[in-house]
A and B are shown apart, each in its own frame.
Chain A
Amino acid sequence: MKTRISSLLGVGELNSTVQYDSNVDFGTSLSMATSNVLSVPVLVFLLGVISVRLKADLRLPDPVYQATAIYLLFAIGLKGGVALRASEPADVLLPIVVAIALGIVIPILVFVVLKWMTRLDGIDRGAMAAHYGSTSLVTFTAALVFLDSLDVNYEGFMPTLLTVLEIPGIIVGLLLAKKYASTRSQVEGANSRDSNSRDSISRDWIREVILGKSVLILFGGLAIGFLTGVQGYEQVEPFFGGLFTGVLALFLLEMGVLAGRRLSDIRTAGVGLIVFAVVFPVFAGTLGIISGYLAGLSMGGAMILGVLCASASYIAAPAAVRLALPTANPSITLTSSLGITFPFNLIVGIPIYYLVAQALENWFL
């Protein structure tokens, strides 16, 4: 228990307790990385995917699913808040600024790159930008579990960056789509598919994005963790820390079922979208890792920022996009983010980002 709490305390003590050997050869790191596939959460995810193929419904009951999502968000926020309190403000500030910049740049890249790679219109590209500009809590969490299993340290305040990166991407993506829609409706007249009742819609989506349940719980957890510190956290650690990986595994069963249901849609997605859903995360992840190093993060921290950039949202963003861009096709965005990118990141992406972070380490640290 003590070690877990001390590992939260972040970069201050990181320098004295670097536990990984930065000179390990490529083969060793590759085998460490492939062991990711044999972790319980990843295997449970695959079980969920297979269950769909076998036509057995392993979905959690809705209230249980909601509760596990709240648990994960709150636990992540709480740990992050405790670590944030123990961090030097100066160490946190630059990574936060960099994260916000990435939250703005990545959705713009998505919007532009998809224009080259696919025939999606601006509404669907904006929806995609909102999904890929935001982050995936579960991918982030799986990356933390991966680093913990390798005894690699990372800055404890990383959940702060998760919270920071959650929102800007969604807003930028929606604004890009809205701009496209208004430009097109000017060109084509009032018959454009998104021209009706745009004002009433904007009111709802701003509230949905800013005060969305997931952001509120995550932010609330951060604040409570920050206020109560290590002492407060020790009281709830058996529940929010000790059980964490187990609850994550349960949640991944559900994600496996949802992803499995999307698999049949992949065939209809088109080559461009499939390539995008695999290649873009690696590109954005590398961008995040480099930015992380430039912001002064450790190897573990830079890798996590890479994971945040590589992951696509499938909870907060779909809700906001559904309300704000009702004509965007959820089947495209969810097939891409949940059916392709999420399993890719979970199974091979996380080890790849780890290897990339390791390979780039000597350039920056």
Chain B
Amino acid sequence: MHEIDLLTIVTESILKERLINDLKIAGVTGWTMTAAQGEGPRNRRVSEVEGGNIRVEILADPHTVERVWTMLKDSYFSNYAVTAWQSKVQVSRADRYLGNESHG
């Protein structure tokens, strides 16, 4: 087993396509998306009409995760309802998630 970074992003479902696109630009090669419900400090969003929130989980190398954080800070945090957190998780087949660095 190997230790690897797990980045979880919960945000407005309206941003689905844009977020996935930006993640790919940041070098993310895989993600898991589920529907999410919840409430945050903003508590008012159009997603109420458009299908709630999404929760996107990414396993990646530290550099890619760093690029995603930068992307979130630059284009998402100020205007949209976003919660994101990072944690260490144990995975087998770590090379599956630590894609080649030249991607970024």
Contact = CB atoms under 8 A, between A and B. Distances in A.
Given A62-B35, A330-B44, A331-B44, A322 B12 contact: yes
B3 interface: no
Given A62-B52, A197-B75, A204-B18, A326 B80 contact: yes
Interface residues on A, range: 20 to 34
A327 B79 contact: yes
A314 B49 contact: yes
Nearest to A197: B75
A315 interface: yes
A330 B50 CA distance: 13
Interface residues of B, number: 18
Given A62-B35, A197-B75, A204-B18, A322 B48 contact: no
Interface in A56-84: 62, 65-66
Contact of A322 (B14, B51, B52): B14
B96 interface: no
Contacts of A204: 17-18
Given A62-B51, A314-B49, A330-B44, A319 B14 contact: yes
Chain B at the A interface: SS class? mixed
Contact of A326 (B51, B74, B79): B79
Nearest to B46: A318
A167 interface: no
B46 A319 contact: yes
A160 B34 CA distance: 36
Chain A at the B interface: SS class? helix
Counting chain B CB atoms within 10 Å of each CB, which of A66, A196, A322, A327 scores highest? A322
A258 interface: yes
B103 interface: no
A66 B52 CA distance: 11
Contacts of B44: 265, 330-331, 334
B45 interface: yes
Given A62-B35, A319-B14, A258 B49 contact: yes
Contacts of B18: 204, 323
A315 B14 CA distance: 11
Contacts of B17: 204
A197 B18 CA distance: 13
Contacts of B14: 319, 322-323
A110 interface: no
Contacts of B48: 258, 261, 334
A338 interface: yes
A338 B51 CA distance: 16
Contact of A330 (B35, B45, B52): B45
A93 B15 CA distance: 37
Nearest to A328: B79
Contact of B50 (A197, A318, A326, A327): A318
Contacts of A314: 49
A261 B79 CA distance: 22
Contacts of B50: 315, 318-319
Contacts of B52: 62
Contact of B49 (A197, A326, A334): A334
B12 to A, nearest CB: 7
Contacts of A197: 74-75
A67 to B, nearest CB: 12
10 contacts: A65-B51, A66-B51, A197-B75, A204-B17, A204-B18, A261-B48, A318-B46, A321-B46, A323-B15, A334-B44
Interface of A: 62, 65-66, 196-197, 200, 204, 258, 261, 265, 314-315, 318-319, 321-323, 326-327, 330-331, 334, 338
Q: Which 4 A-B pairs have the closest CB atoms?
A: A326-B79, A318-B46, A331-B44, A322-B46
Given A66-B51, A196-B75, 16 more contacts: A62-B51, A62-B52, A197-B75, A258-B48, A258-B49, A261-B48, A265-B44, A314-B49, A315-B50, A318-B50, A321-B46, A323-B14, A323-B18, A330-B44, A330-B46, A334-B46
